[in-house]
Structure 1
């Protein structure tokens, strides 16, 4: 048995909905780890794409599972289909930095912890750097990372804390809250490797407007508003 194959294997789960433009780069970044044997499989959990997402996924050799639209439900469905001892949840518009696999491999000896990546945006300038820095401050001070940062977690721990719930919004915060409640704040690890995510939504809406909207929705969530109601506000 080689060193590459002696490690537990990772199943990568990517929820998609009309993600044909972003998905190729996300998948390409996983190829070296798949060749090395660290990544066992890539599962595309699709919520009804009408573009070329399915074709791209199939040509890349990914497994495809289809179900109702909704990121929480799609993530849960992908996890249920996964066969790896570890699960890596990744958004379709997020590209992992090349050093991610080295850090992840070293982390596989900590099955009682979960890891998220350092957020960065695929845009240059002051605004994206400030927003990313704010997100990382929130991650470290409040233990509140968003799904854009990915999530690497042992299957056993994922199942112990109840997995992803079929929420229309904040399914990422919900699972982290249960992780910390069960295992404590030290159970959340932040990788140095960057998760470079699309800045398209911020550039379309304006960075400040988007940040304020996200903060307002987060405040509503913290004060107990229903995720369905927050999703309506978020979609406006």
Structure 2
């Protein structure tokens, strides 16, 4: 299979607050990928400055109403690349990401790809959860796996729903009706801080219960309120 140029990739990073450290880290990622542009999206109610020192020349800072889905949509609809990567600000790509992405993006039948998952803490429960992420399903495909979506397909399915929780699950569900999702044979690394703060087993049980209720038809707005009370999280930082 031929490979695609990653210059057609727009890197979209929803974040609670952009600082110079994050800007530099994402810039290194974009340079390694050869991505054409970077779009950072902060909450509109944030009081941070309108610009950040050291922001790359191919990067823009946007604002949107607080919430990961809303912020991702702002970046997705502003992006100019043929492909969109939604990268969480605590997620690191694997070393072989450029080659894997180039091959995936060259497939004309592909609508979306994402990576498997790894945590930055070693624990049997987190290893089990990470192992399950190699499979593509409603229960194992989430936004913290660096979703890469063809821009035309993103527009066709209406982007992310304007929800405070499980917006990534719904996006993937919509996309499956239009195209297939490929799991790439490498893992991104993400933070385990929510598990460490709330207890690994407790956090995983809470996540599973909320996801089950969502799949059974519960309101994501109501579930976000429950999650905030139980876990002390914000609506902009959904459980995993």
CA distance in 2, matches of 1:59, 1:142: 36
Give the SS at the match of 1:43: strand
Instruction: Say if 2:63 is the partner of 1:70.
Output: no
Matched, 1:153 2:149: yes
Shift of 1:166: 1.4
Show the counterpart of 2:88: 91
Return the match for 1:167 from 163, 167, 174.
163
Deviations 1:21-43 (Å, cap 9, x if unpaired)?
98354443332123xxxx10010
Structure 1 window deviating more from structure 2 (10-19 vs 90-99): it is: 10-19
TM-score when normalising by structure 1: 0.85
Map 1:1-236; keep pairs closer than 5 Å: 9-18=8-17, 20=19, 23=22, 24-34=24-34, 39-47=35-43, 48-50=45-47, 55=52, 59-61=55-57, 62-113=59-110, 114-134=112-132, 136=133, 139-142=135-138, 144-183=140-179, 187-236=180-229
For these two proteins, the number of residue pairs brought into alignment is 224
1:5 CA displacement = 8.9
Is the Cα–Cα contact under 8 Å of residues 87 and 144 in structure 2 kept in the other structure? yes
Q: SS where residue 29 of structure 1 aligns?
A: helix
Partner Cα distance (1:212, 1:6) in 2: 41
Structure with greater proportional helix content: 1
SS for the counterpart of 2:89 is coil
CA contact (8 A) 1:111 1:153 kept: no
Consecutive unaligned residues in structure 2, runs of 5 or more:
230-240
- Structure 1 regions of 5+ residues with no counterpart? none
Q: Distance in 2 between matches of 1:208 and 1:7?
A: 39
Deviation string for 1:157-207 (max 9, x for gaps)? Answer: 111222112111111010110111223xxx010011211111111111111
1:130 CA drift (Å): 2.2
For 1:129-165, what per-residue CA distance to the aligned partner results, in whole angstroms no more than 9, with x for missing partners? 123224x16x435464111101111111111222112
Distance 1:204 1:20, change over 3 A: farther
Q: CA deviation at 1:109?
A: 1.8
